[in-house]
C-alpha cells in the first residue's frame, strides 16, 4: 500500500539510499543473456558496459546475470570479445 500524505517525509525526499534496487526491471525482458563459462575470459567488458548494473562479479570473476534487473538489451553479448554471452528467447 502506498503511503498517504500524512506519512510521507516532507519535501518529496526519498530517505533511503539505493532504493532503485527495489524496482525490478527484469520483466521488461523478451530475450535473456546466457553465459558460456568455458569461453569467458573475465575481461569484465560486460560489467563495464551493462547499463543496469546487472553483471554479477565476485573476486574479479564474471559469475552471471542479475536477472531481476537485466532488461535484456544485449549490449553485453554485443561487447563480449570472445562471444561468451548468447541472447536467448525468454520462455513464457
Partner 1 sequence: MKIKALTANEAMAEAMRQINPDVVAAYPITPATEIVQHFASFVADGLVTTEFVPVESEHSAMSACIGAAAAGARVMTSTASQGLALMHEVLYIAAALRLPIVICEINRALSAPINIHCDHSDTFGARDSGWIQIYSEDSQEAYDSVIQAVKIAEEAFLPVMVTADGFILSHAMQRIEVLEDEEVKEFLGEPKTPYTVLDTDNPITVGPLDLQDYFFEHKRQEAEAMRLAPPIIEKVGKEFGERFGRYYGLVDPYRLEDAEVAVVVMGSTAGTAKEVVDKLREEGKPAGLLRMRVLRPLPLKEIVENLRDKKVIGVMDRAEGMSGFGGPLYTEIRSGLYDVPSHPPLYNYIYGLGGRDIKPEEIEEIFKELFDAAAGKEIPLVNYKGVRE
Partner 2 sequence: MKDIIEIRWHGRGGQGAKTAALLFGEAALDTGMYIQAFPEYGPERTGAPVQSFNRLSKKPIRIHSGITNPDIVLVLDPTLVKKVNVLEGLPEDGVIIINTSKSPQEIREELGIQGRKVFTVDAYDIAMRTIGRPIPNTPMLGALIKATGILDFEKMLESVRAKLQRKFRTRPEIVDKNIEAIKLAYQETKGEE
Residues that bind partner 2 (CB under 8 A): 25, 27-30, 71-73, 90, 92
- Kindly tell me which of 25 and 42 has the beta carbon lying closer to partner 2: 25
- Under the binding rule (CB under 8 A), the answer on residue 2 touching partner 1 is yes
Residue 11 or 51 with smaller CB distance to partner 1? 11
For partner 1, the binding residue among 9, 10, 12, 15 (CB under 8 A) is 12
By the rule CB under 8 A, 4 interacts with partner 1:
yes
Dist. CA 86–CA 70, nearest whole Å:
14
Give the C-alpha distances (Å, rounded to integers) separating 28 from 65, 69, 85.
15, 9, 19
Rounded Cα gap, residues 22 and 4, in angstroms: 20
Question: How many other C-beta atoms are found inside a 10 Å radius of the C-beta of residue 40?
Answer: 17
| CB nearer partner 1, residue 2 or residue 89 | 2
Amino acid at each position: 500500500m502506498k503511503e498517504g500524505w500524512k506519512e510521507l517525509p516532507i519535501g518529496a525526499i526519498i530517505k533511503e539510499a539505493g532504493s532503485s534496487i527495489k524496482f525490478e526491471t527484469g520483466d521488461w525482458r523478451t530475450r535473456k543473456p546466457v553465459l558460456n563459462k568455458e569461453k569467458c575470459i573475465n575481461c569484465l567488458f560486460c560489467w563495464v558496459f551493462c547499463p543496469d548494473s546487472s553483471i554479477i562479479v565476485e573476486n574479479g570473476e564474471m559469475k552471471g546475470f542479475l536477472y531481476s534487473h537485466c532488461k535484456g538489451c544485449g549490449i553485453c553479448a554485443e561487447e563480449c570479445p570472445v562471444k561468451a554471452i548468447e541472447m536467448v528467447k525468454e520462455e513464457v
